[in-house]
Amino acid sequence: MEKNEHSFSAIYHQFWKRAFDFRGRSSQAEFWLPFVVHRGIEVLIYMLMLIVYMMRFDEDNVFAPYIIPTLYYSLIIFSLILLIPEIAVIVRRLHDVGRHGWWVVVMLLNPLLIYSINGINYLFRHQSASNFATFFSFLILFWVISSTIWFIIQLSKASSEWTNR
């Protein structure tokens, strides 16, 4: 009996097997299936944190203050474990659509740009500079949103016949 290469388990196994492989290509399924599974796990952890947070107001629940930090730290550890493998599959997916793998740097900079908005607003908190801070914050948000949309479009494209860059 031949193993189905397009099954969920085969694709997910391939994700972990090539976790540190930044060369070659990855199909749409090899990118999107693990991506959706991982985001689903993160949503479940967030939902558990919300449920525990709502339960903490019950006086009989003495464990709630300890469960929330445990879930939070497990989410951080989960994200750190997935960081390099997800970057690798994104780079391979970019290769598959004919883009250079270094485009992933754009997406890695976006969270830093979002956090910089708070710093910009703090630095220019005086009334005379607030218009500049608002304009600069808008430019950053425009960049982050447009680059994220561009990135999703690139990752959703069909495979190209181009050679890897």
User: Are 40 and 64 within one domain?
Assistant: yes
pLDDT of residue 127: 65
Higher pLDDT, 126 or 38: 38
pLDDT of residue 21: 95
User: Are 108 and 83 within one domain?
Assistant: no
Burial of 96 (0-12, 13-18, 19+ CB in 10 A): buried
pLDDT of residue 128: 65
pLDDT of residue 54: 78
User: Are 92 and 111 within one domain?
Assistant: no
Q: Is the pLDDT of residue 66 over 90?
A: no
Kindly state the tokens that stand for 13: 């196994």
CA–CA dist 114, 117 (Å, integer): 6
User: Are 165 and 91 within one domain?
Assistant: no
CA–CA dist 6, 28 (Å, integer): 11
Number of domains observed in the structure of the chain: 2
User: Are 20 and 78 within one domain?
Assistant: yes
User: Are 19 and 71 within one domain?
Assistant: yes
The DSSP secondary-structure symbol of 3 reads: P
User: Are 105 and 81 within one domain?
Assistant: no
User: Are 12 and 32 within one domain?
Assistant: yes
Query: Which residues are CB-neighbours of 161 under 8 A, at least 6 positions away?
Result: none
Question: What average pLDDT does the segment 139-149 reach?
Answer: 93
Q: Is the pLDDT of residue 1 over 50?
A: no
pLDDT band at 59 (very low <50, low <70, confident <90, very high): low
Q: How many CA atoms lie within 13 A of 142 on its CB side?
A: 6
User: Are 53 and 124 within one domain?
Assistant: no
CA–CA dist 95, 25 (Å, integer): 6
pLDDT band at 76 (very low <50, low <70, confident <90, very high): very high
User: Are 64 and 104 within one domain?
Assistant: no
Looking at the chain, the whole-number percentage of residues with pLDDT higher than 70 is 87
Count of residues for the chain? 165
Range of the domain at 133: 97-165
